Chain A
Amino acid sequence: MSSRTAEKAKAREARLAAEQAEAQRATRGRRLKLLGLVLALAAVLVAAGILVSRSGSDDEKEATAQPETLFAGIPQDGAWLGDPQAPVVVEEYADLQCPFCARFATGELPGIVSDYVRPGKVRIRLRLLTFLGDDSVTAGRFAVAAGQQDRLWPFVEAFYAQQGRENSGYVTADFLRARAKEVPDLDADQAFTAADGAPVTKQLDANQQAAQAAKVDATPTFLVGRRGGPLAPVDGGDLRGALDAALAGQ
């Protein structure tokens, strides 16, 4: 009788252990399924984040790729952009660290180029200043050196598209080299060598003197006039109006 009871108890224990093991297996399986679902959802969210991030980067790349299209086929000579015989001349005073200069370059300039410069009506000269700080000096020297290869304008556009925080030290050799890479036919090594040279210093000094003579106290500042004649500052930032007036011979 007692052995029968013991057998029954043993069988019950075995059954309970089996049930417990089965429950544990089921729980483990459920947890692994849950982890699989969480991993899948996480992968979808990360992929979506990467897509959003890349679309933003692509916009930047388009902005930096734009200069070649923007200036393609337009004569470039040092700091000058446009036909030397254009009846109207513009001088732009800018600092590469100036956010308003970057805004003009990426906003209004493309329209000015397509409507006035490309048709040969207007020729623009970029006079770079370096008053905002050390990053302006580093960037300005390299840009003027790029101008010695007649690649100033596309380099400046590429620079503006990636303009960083003012005087944060972002204008490093690596940064400049990366921007130079975006400009076809710009020899970065040659520009680095030239950037330390006396001709670049002379050009920047000349820009500074011209700015003082024209009483330029902010950037960007535009002076407009007929070719060979005196240039006058643009009132109220209406560059198109000033260009139209100059073209009309007023």
Chain B
Amino acid sequence: MSDARLRTAALVLAVLGIGVAGYLTYVHYADLEPVCAGGGHGCEIVQASPQSELAGIPVALLGLLGYLVLAGVNLAAGEAARILGALVALVGFGFSVYLTVESVTVIEATCQWCLASLGLMTALAGVCVARLLRA
């Protein structure tokens, strides 16, 4: 796959991620209940858990910032942008895996929005690493 296609794929994934993390950030600050498919309360439980914040900052907001950076670096050209993109995507992927394990084993609830974000970060990590290696 050409770099142009990888770049487009990364941008689409980052925009989707901005949507997911943006929604979770909005419901956090608006003190609303996240819409959970199937009427479950997993999303509220996860959002209300201690793991939903990192040093007092909502994880959803950190995710939103991460996706914004990923969109920015995939719009920019140059090696530095590709390195930063791979780094942010790998960190996002690693932390998403950790949070998912925590939500299943400690919080004992799963949030569909968080799982969607894990999927997007996983794909972004793959695309950004491929861009770094192919350049």
Q: Cβ of A209 < 8 Å from any Cβ of B? A: no
Interface size class of A (residues with CB under 8 A): 20 to 34
Partner of A34, one of B33, B83, B94: B83
Once the chains are docked, how many angstroms separate the CA of A49 from the CA of B44?
22
Once the chains are docked, how many angstroms separate the CA of A42 from the CA of B109?
27
- Bitwise, B56-78 to A at CB < 8 A (1) or not (0) is 00000000000000000000000
Cβ-closest chain A residue relative to B57: A52
Once the chains are docked, how many angstroms separate the CA of A162 from the CA of B91?
28
Q: Which residues of B contact A168 (CB under 8 A)?
A: 33, 41, 44, 48
Q: How many residues on the B side are at the interface (Cβ–Cβ under 8 A)?
A: 29
Binds B, one of A112-120, A171-179, A190-198: A171-179
Interface residues of chain B: helix, strand, loop or mixed (majority): helix
Q: Cβ of B4 < 8 Å from any Cβ of A? A: no
- Bitwise, A60-87 to B at CB < 8 A (1) or not (0) is 1000000000000000000000000000
Once the chains are docked, how many angstroms separate the CA of A165 from the CA of B47?
9
Give the total number of A-B pairs whose CB atoms are below 8 A apart: 80
CB atoms of A35 and B106 under 8 A apart? no
Once the chains are docked, how many angstroms separate the CA of A39 from the CA of B132?
12
- Bitwise, B104-116 to A at CB < 8 A (1) or not (0) is 0010110000000
Q: Cβ of A133 < 8 Å from any Cβ of B? A: no
- Bitwise, A148-169 to B at CB < 8 A (1) or not (0) is 0000000000000010110011
Binding site for B on A (CB under 8 A): 31-32, 34-35, 38-39, 41-43, 45-46, 49-50, 52-53, 56-57, 59-60, 162, 164-165, 168-170, 172, 174-175, 178
